[in-house]
A = this chain, B = another copy of it.
Amino acid sequence: MSSDLLRLSSLFVRTLREDPADAEVASHRLLVRAGYIRRAAPGIYTWLPLGLRVLAKVEAVVREEMTAAGAQEVHFPALLPREPYETTGRWTEYGPNLFRLTDRKDGDYLLAPTHEEMFTLLVKDLYSSYKDLPVTLFQIQTKYRDEARPRAGLIRGREFVMKDAYSFDTTDAGLDASYAAQRAAYQRIFDRLGLEYVVVAATSGAMGGSRSEEFLTPTPIGEDTFVRSPGGYAANVEAVVTPVPEAIDATDAPAAHVEETPGTPTIDSLVAFANAHHARDDRPWTAADTLKNVVLAVTHPDGRREIVVVGLPGDRGVDLKRAGAAFEPAEVEPATDADFAAHPELVKGYIGPRAFGPSVADERPQVDESVADNVTARQPVRYLLDPRVVSGTRWITGADEDGRHVFDLVAGRDFSADGAIEAAEVRAGDPAPDGSGPLELARGIEIGHIFQLGRKYAQALGLTVLDENGKQVVVTMGSYGIGVTRVLAALAEANHDDAGLAWPAHVAPAHVHVVATGKDAAVFEEAERISGELVARGVEVIYDDRPKVSPGVKFKDAELLGVPVLLVVGRGLADGVVELRARMGEAEQAPVADAVDRAVERVQQLLG
C-alpha cells in the first residue's frame, strides 16, 4: 500500500462535530475537529497522521529555501546544560518562561527556548579563521517556552517547532549581506506557502542586537499590533519611532505658576477645571496641553524593582507592551499602592516633573534606546519623557502637592529628564516617522523574525577568528527564526470557512479527496480504480471508502479536512459521470473516462 493513498476506512483520524471547549480561534478549532492535532497538555500538542503530513510539507519548503540560500542544516539537543546560558545571562533573564530541571547528579539543565549560545559555541568549536566565514547554519527543531498563557492552539504553545538560523560574519557589511539573503529566503518561503505577510520594523527583544524585522501575517486574531502607512512604512507597534517635533522658542513664554486645582486627579477633571478657572483666549485647554506622569514599576532580571515615571502628553496613555519593549529584558507593570507608599514624593494625581530634580535649561531629552541599562540615574526615581515633549513646549502638570498644578511649565527651561522613552500608545492617524503619511493599525501573527544580533553573543562566549592581519576579531551574527508550527496554524487561519479547512495545495495533506457514495459496489470499484490511478500519477489521495457512512457525513468530513480537490463517485456513475469540485468552488460533471485527467490537471494548476 502506498503511503499516498489514505483510506478513510483505516486512516487514524476521527472528525469531531463539536468545537473543543478551549478553542478560541479557527485554526485551533478546526485542526482539532478535523483530527490533525490533539491536546496533550496546555500548549502541548500531539500530531495525528494528517497534521504530520502538513507539518512535513511546511518543513520541506522551509528546508529547501534555507538550503537554496546557502544555509547548512544542523540539529541541536533540546536538553541543554545551564552553563552557556549562564554566561550570556539568559538563564536568569528568561525568568519563568524557561523550563529548568536538574539531572540525577543535580546538574542544572534547561529545555532550550532558542539556541543562540549553542550555535555560537559550535562555530567557535569548529572555526578559527576569517576564511571560514561567512557561514549560515539552521535547524528545524522542537523548542520549549513555559508561556504564562499558552493560547490559540499552535499559535502560542509551550512545545513547538521552530526553524532557527544564525549567520556568522567578520564584518558589518558581511552581516548585512547574510541578513539580506535570509530576508529574501523568507519572502520565497512565505510566497511558496501562499501566506500573506507584511515585513515590519521590530525591536529585537531579549535577544539584543540592532536591525530587526518581523514577518507578520495579517489576521484579526493576531496577538501583535502593527502599523503601516500609505507610503510603505510598516512596523511592529513596539518598534514605532515617534517623529520628534522641532524645538519651540519659548523666550516669551510666561513664567511657570502654581495654581490651586482642587479635586483634579485625572486629566479630564484637570482640563475641565482649567477651562472653568483659567480659560485661554485663543481656544479651550485640551488634554494635549497637559503633561501626564505615569508611574511604572520595572523588575530587572536580577530581581531589583525600580520606579520609573514616564511623562507624556495627557491625551495619550502608556502602552505597556511598548514600555515593556523599551525596558527589555526587564519586566514592566503599573506601580502598586506599595510602590507609591515607598515614594511619598510621588503625589498620586498631582505628579510633576519638578519632583525629579533641578530645572536644566537648554537640555533636550535624547532618545535613549537602552534605558534598561542606564541605571546611573541621578534620582532614585528615573524620569523619562515622551519624544513629543521637546524643548520649549508648555504644559499644565502636577505641582507635586495634593490639589495643585503648575501652569506654563516649559520643557528645557523649567524641567528636564533622565532620558526619553517610546512608551506612549500609537494611534491610527499618527504620522509615520519617515514622513510617508498617517499610520493605520492592524493585527497580525508573527511568523518570522530576522535580526542582526551583532557581536553580543560572540563577545560573551569568546567567538573570535583571525582576520587577514592575524588579529583576533569578534564575529558578528544574525538570527533568523520561523515558527514552523505557528506557520501551519496561520495557514489554517488564512484558509478556512465555517465548514472546515481549505489547504493550499502545496501543504494539503493530500491533493484529491475521492468520495464514494451509496452502496453500489460498482461505485466503490470505480472510486478505487480512480484513486489508484491518481496515486500512480503522483497525486496524493484521501479515499473515503467507508462502506456504511452516509454521503452527508462524507461531504461534511471532506469539507472539514480541507483537501483542495474533491472527486465524487456516486449515482452519476450510472450515467457515466463523476463530480469534480474545488474545496471552495463550483461542482463540475466529468465523464468517468476523463476523471483522472481532469483531477490531475486541477492539481497541477493548483501546484503551479
Interface residues of A (CB under 8 A from B): 1, 3, 10-14, 35, 38, 40-41, 44-49, 52, 55, 67-68, 70, 72-81, 96-97, 99-101, 103-104, 109, 111, 118, 122, 125-127, 135, 137, 142, 144, 146, 148, 158-159
Interface of chain A, main secondary structure: mixed
With A73-B52, A100-B101, A122-B46 known to touch, is A41 a contact of B142 (CB < 8 Å)?
no
Name A41's contact: one of B3, B79, B125, B126 (CB within 8 Å).
B79
A76 x B12 contact (CB < 8 A): no
Q: Could you list 24 A-B pairs, sorted by A, with CB under 8 Å?
A: A3-B67, A10-B135, A12-B74, A13-B126, A14-B126, A14-B127, A38-B122, A40-B76, A40-B80, A40-B81, A41-B109, A45-B77, A46-B77, A49-B72, A52-B74, A55-B75, A78-B142, A79-B99, A79-B111, A96-B104, A99-B101, A101-B101, A101-B111, A103-B146
Q: CB distance A70 to B1 under 8 Å?
A: yes
Q: Are B75 and A52 in contact (CB under 8 A)?
A: yes
**Other A-B pairs, 13, CB within 8 Å; known A14-B127, A103-B146:** A12-B135, A35-B126, A40-B77, A40-B118, A41-B79, A44-B77, A48-B74, A78-B78, A78-B159, A79-B158, A96-B104, A99-B101, A104-B146
Residue of B nearest to A13 (CB): B126
B127 near A76 with CB under 8 A, answer no
Minimum C-beta distance from A66 to chain B (A): 10
Collect the chain B residues with CB atoms within 8 Å of residue A46's CB: 74-77, 118, 122
Q: Shortest CB–CB separation between residue A259 and chain B, in angstroms?
A: 49
Cα distance A13–B73 when bound, in Å? 12
CB closest chain-B residue, reference A1: B70
A46: nearest chain-B partner, CB-CB = B76
Q: Are B41 and A80 in contact (CB under 8 A)?
A: yes
Contacts of A77 in B (CB 8 A): 40-41, 44-46, 159
Picked from B13, B104, B137, the residue with its CB within 8 Å of the CB of A12 is B137
**Which B residues touch A127, using CB under 8 A?**
14
Decide if A44 touches B80 in the complex (CB within 8 Å).
Answer: yes
Number of this chain's copies in the complex: 2
In the bound assembly, the distance between CA atoms of A78 and B104 in angstroms comes to: 19
When distances are taken between beta carbons in the complex, the residues of chain B under 8 Å from A74 are 12, 46-49, 52
In the complex, residue of chain B having the shortest beta-carbon distance to the beta carbon of A127: B14
Nearest CB of chain B from residue A6's CB, rounded to whole Å: 9
Chain B residues near A76: list those with CB within 8 A: 40, 46-47
In the complex, what residue of chain B is closest to A134 when comparing beta carbons? B10
Tell me, rounded to whole Å, the shortest Cβ–Cβ distance linking A520 to chain B.
21
Residues of B contacting A99 with CB < 8 Å? 79, 101, 103, 109
Shortest beta-carbon distance from A22 to chain B in Å: 15
| Bound CA span A46–B117, Å | 13
- A100 to B74: give the CA distance in the assembly, Å: 27
- Least CB distance, A498 to chain B, in whole angstroms: 24
Measured between C-beta atoms, what is the minimum distance from A389 to chain B in Å? 38
Residues of B within 8 A of A75 (CB): 46-47, 52, 55
Given the complex, which residues of B lie within 8 Å of A146, measured CB to CB?
Answer: 103-104
A100: nearest chain-B partner, CB-CB: B101
A55 / chain B contacts, CB cutoff of 8 Å: 75
Question: Which of A13, A72, A125 is the most central at the interface, judged by chain B CB atoms within 10 Å of its CB?
Answer: A72
Q: Which residue of B lies closest to A70 (CB)?
A: B1
A14 CB to closest chain B CB, in angstroms?
A: 4
On whether the beta carbons of A125 and B38 are closer than 8 Å, the reply is yes
Residues in B with CB closer than 8 Å to A125 are: 38
How far in angstroms is the closest Cβ of chain B from A115? 9
CA distance A130 to B98 in the complex (A): 44
Q: Is the CB of A11 within 8 A of B103?
A: no
- Taking a contact as CB atoms under 8 Å apart, the answer to whether A81 and B41 are in contact is yes
When chains A and B are docked, how far (Å) is the Cα of A48 from the Cα of B125?
Answer: 12
Residues of B close to A137: CB separation below 8 A: 12
Question: Within the assembled complex, what's the spacing in Å between the Cα atoms of A111 and B49?
Answer: 22
CA distance A13 to B135 in the complex (A): 11
How distant is the Cα of A103 from the Cα of B96 in the complex, in angstroms?
A: 8
CA distance A125 to B13 in the complex (A): 10
Nearest CB to that of A128 among chain B residues? B14
**CB of A305, distance to nearest CB on chain B (Å):** 20
Please measure, in the bound complex, the distance between the C-alpha atom of A109 and the C-alpha atom of B43, giving whole angstroms.
13
How far apart sit A563 and B150, CA to CA, in the bound complex (Å)?
46
A159 touching B79 in the complex, CB below 8 Å, given contacts A72-B11, A122-B38, A125-B38: yes
CB of A385 to closest CB in B, whole Å: 35
**Nearest CB in chain B to that of A157: its residue:** B77
Residue of B nearest to A548 (CB): B131
Contacts of A10 in B (CB 8 A): 135
A49 to B68, CA, bound (A): 15
Complex contacts, A47 vs chain B, CB 8 Å: 74-76
A111 contacts across to B, CB distance below 8 A: 79, 101, 111
Query: Closest 3 A-B residue pairs measured CB to CB?
Result: A101-B101, A47-B75, A96-B104
Residues of B within 8 A of A80 (CB): 40-41, 44
User: In the complex, which residues of chain B have a beta carbon less than 8 angstroms from the beta carbon of A126?
Assistant: 12-14, 35
Q: Which residue of B lies closest to A79 (CB)?
A: B159
- Complex Cα gap A159–B48 (Å): 23
Residues of B within 8 A of A35 (CB): 126
Q: Write the chain B residue with the least CB distance to A63.
A: B3
A396 to B570, CA, bound (A): 84
Cα A240 to Cα B101 in complex, Å, equals: 39
